[in-house]
Amino acid sequence: MTTRRIGTVLALGALSMSAGTFQIAAADDTHNFSANIGVVSNYFFRGLTQTDDGPAVQGGVDYEHGSGFYAGAWISNVDFGDVDQYELNIDGVTVDLVDTIKSPAYEIDGYFGYGMAINDDLSFDVNAIYYAYPDGEDLDFAELGGSATWKWLTLGLAYTVYGQADDAPGVPSGEALFVEGDWYYYAGLEFALPYDFGLGLRGGYYDFDYNDGGNDYGHWGVTISREAGDFGTFSLNYDQVGRDTYDEDPQFWVGWLKEF
């Protein structure tokens, strides 16, 4: 979950804040760099915890060109828990497999894209992102995505073009591993409130390419954020998944983000 996506794709389920930038030189605003660091009580990605309901420390760096091109990298600790694979059903074929996949300890995302404002109310963004888990097993995946924002409304989608799990012996039922052909659709609403508060509403739907729809799910969430100047931005968040294949209990978490 990158900071740029935090700012442009609220529906992905992270803090409702935008990444700040600073200029290399006052006379040249063509090249802008920014950095960020954050702490969350629970790291959620598209409605699902990435830290086994534990906290995460996160940070990233971003580059943005005046033309609209951008690139960056982002890192966070993760904990998926140990997954026991057993009887799997893939494309109608049942495979008996007993194996334990150890959770990776961290995630590194690399991404680039292009964003452009058509006018004061309408903008769009296209991007590519690679999610890497260097100490994990068959977990890396890559996406192409796009979104459009009109005033306070963002609509978008992401398509998985590569997944290491494609070559794995099986995908556990009830686990959200990512393979080529997955689609994710999302929408988000962002509103400025008095006293530097912000309100964000989000929702998304994951259409997985395996298990005959048995792992597809929808989710939704709400964020209330408060900018505190040099102290960064604080948020209170609610997320929930709408399918009992996963943990469908309401999830509440807090976050802090500081941009440089």
Confidence at 7, pLDDT banded by 50, 70, 90: very low
What average pLDDT does range 215-222 have in this prediction? 96
Q: Is the pLDDT of residue 81 over 50?
A: yes
The kind and range of the H/E element at 5 are: helix 3-8
Separation CA 172–CA 230 (nearest Å): 45
DSSP state of 224: E
- pTM comes to 0.83
Q: Is the pLDDT of residue 242 over 80?
A: yes
165 three-class SS: helix
Residues 175/86, Cβ–Cβ less than 8 Å: no
Residues 136/103, Cβ–Cβ less than 8 Å: yes
Per mean pLDDT, which of 100-109, 172-181, 191-200 is the most reliable? 191-200
- Of 2-11, 45-54, 205-214, 250-259, the poorest mean pLDDT is in 2-11
Residues 182/171, Cβ–Cβ less than 8 Å: no
Confidence at 88, pLDDT banded by 50, 70, 90: low
179 three-class SS: coil
What average pLDDT does range 17-28 have in this prediction? 35
Confidence at 89, pLDDT banded by 50, 70, 90: low
Residues 131/141, Cβ–Cβ less than 8 Å: yes
Confidence at 103, pLDDT banded by 50, 70, 90: confident
Residue 135 zone, left/alpha/beta (φ > 0; ψ -120 to 50; rest): alpha
Radius of gyration of the chain (CA): 18
Separation CA 43–CA 79 (nearest Å): 10
Number of domains, the chain:
1
Return the pLDDT at 18: 33
Residue 253 zone, left/alpha/beta (φ > 0; ψ -120 to 50; rest): beta
Give the domain range for residue 98: 3-259
| pLDDT, mean over the chain | 83
Per mean pLDDT, which of 93-97, 210-214, 240-244 is the most reliable? 240-244
What average pLDDT does range 184-197 have in this prediction? 96
Q: Is the pLDDT of residue 10 over 50?
A: no
Q: Give the domain CATH number at 142.
A: 2.40.160.40
78 three-class SS: coil
- Cα–Cα nearest to 3, from 40, 54, 31, 28: 40
Q: How far is CA 155 from the centre of its chain?
A: 15
Return the pLDDT at 137: 82
Return the pLDDT at 8: 33
